[in-house]
Amino acid sequence: MTRVFAGKKLLIGSRNHAKRQQLIDALEPYDLDFVMAEETDVEDPEETGKTFLENALIKAKAYSQGSNLPTLADDSGLVIPALDGAPGIYSSRFAAEHGGFDRAFLALEEKLKGLSTEAYITSTVVLMWPDGIYVSGVGETWGDLVFPARPGIGFGYYPIFRPKGETKTISEMAPQEYNVISLSHRKKSMGALIAQSFKAV
């Protein structure tokens, strides 16, 4: 079911500052009042889903029902076809299990020896109301992985991910270079969601 967002207050169901800033930036034209996750008494739910959508729904439901506010939540990750889709929904956990992203990059480099480095980063966003009705959007950006990592201003897997047709990893790009609809996976997912539930401005 599609529903148009008609309110003013929107909860961002994420404690990842960099990620949620991208969500907020996409909604800048709508002049909303954003509530941050830490401003509520809601604890982050355990992400037990088997897909990005299931995990985004788990987060959106917990925050929306716990705060009685419409909530925007996201689940995203790195998908590598040559590794059967890994790390996928376990992208954050993969990094944590290896002691951080730098070591995770080394682990991926080792796993991919002799294999294709083609990959994509994906984002699934969910806007859910307290009554359970929700709208979702999906975005993907394809590219390849480069080693060694090229650190810069990006976060997560950005230092090793080079979008298709580009010479720089996302971390090496200035924000204005990456945050365009043609490149940003989160911009794409938010664009799909906005097209369904927000009036044109």
pLDDT tens-digit map of 75-114: 999 999 999 999 999 999 999 999 999 999 999 999 999 9
- Do residues 62 and 76 lie in contact, with contact meaning Cβ atoms separated by under 8 Å? no
Q: What gap in Å lies between CA 113 and CA 75, rounded to an integer?
A: 28
Of the listed ranges 42-51, 96-105, 147-156, the least confidently predicted one is 147-156
Residue 194 has pLDDT above 80, yes or no: yes
Q: Which of 74, 75, 84, 144 is catalytic?
A: 75
pLDDT of residue 97: 96
Q: What is the mean pLDDT of residues 43-50?
A: 93
135 in a structural domain: yes
Residue 126: how many other CB atoms lie within 10 Å: 26
pLDDT-based confidence at residue 155 (cuts at 50, 70, 90): confident
145: domain range?
Answer: 9-197
Residue 181 has pLDDT above 90, yes or no: no
CA atoms within 13 A on the CB side of 88: 14
- Tokens 């806007």 — which residue? 127
Q: CB burial class (10 A; 0-12, 13-18, 19+) of residue 6?
A: exposed
4 in a structural domain: no
3 in a structural domain: no
Domain total in the chain: 1
- Do residues 158 and 171 lie in contact, with contact meaning Cβ atoms separated by under 8 Å? yes
48 in a structural domain: yes
Q: CB burial class (10 A; 0-12, 13-18, 19+) of residue 167?
A: exposed
- Do residues 14 and 20 lie in contact, with contact meaning Cβ atoms separated by under 8 Å? yes
- Do residues 162 and 145 lie in contact, with contact meaning Cβ atoms separated by under 8 Å? yes
pLDDT greater at residue 14 or residue 154: 14
- What average pLDDT does the chain have? 93
66 in a structural domain: yes
1 in a structural domain: no
Of the listed ranges 15-19, 78-82, 152-156, the least confidently predicted one is 152-156
pLDDT of residue 153: 77
Q: Let me know the angle formed at the C-alpha of 194 by 160 and 79, rounded to the nearest 5 degrees.
A: 25
pLDDT of residue 1: 66
69 in a structural domain: yes
pLDDT of residue 182: 73
pLDDT of residue 152: 82
63 in a structural domain: yes
Residues above pLDDT 70, as percent of the chain: 98
75 is catalytic: yes
Give the contacts of 113 (CB within 8 A, at least 6 positions apart): none
Put residue 193 in one of left, alpha, beta given phi > 0 → left and psi -120 to 50 → alpha.
alpha
Which CATH number goes with the domain that contains 139?
3.90.950.10
Residues above pLDDT 90, as percent of the chain: 84
Q: What gap in Å lies between CA 178 and CA 171, rounded to an integer?
A: 9
- Do residues 191 and 123 lie in contact, with contact meaning Cβ atoms separated by under 8 Å? no
Residue 180 has pLDDT above 80, yes or no: no
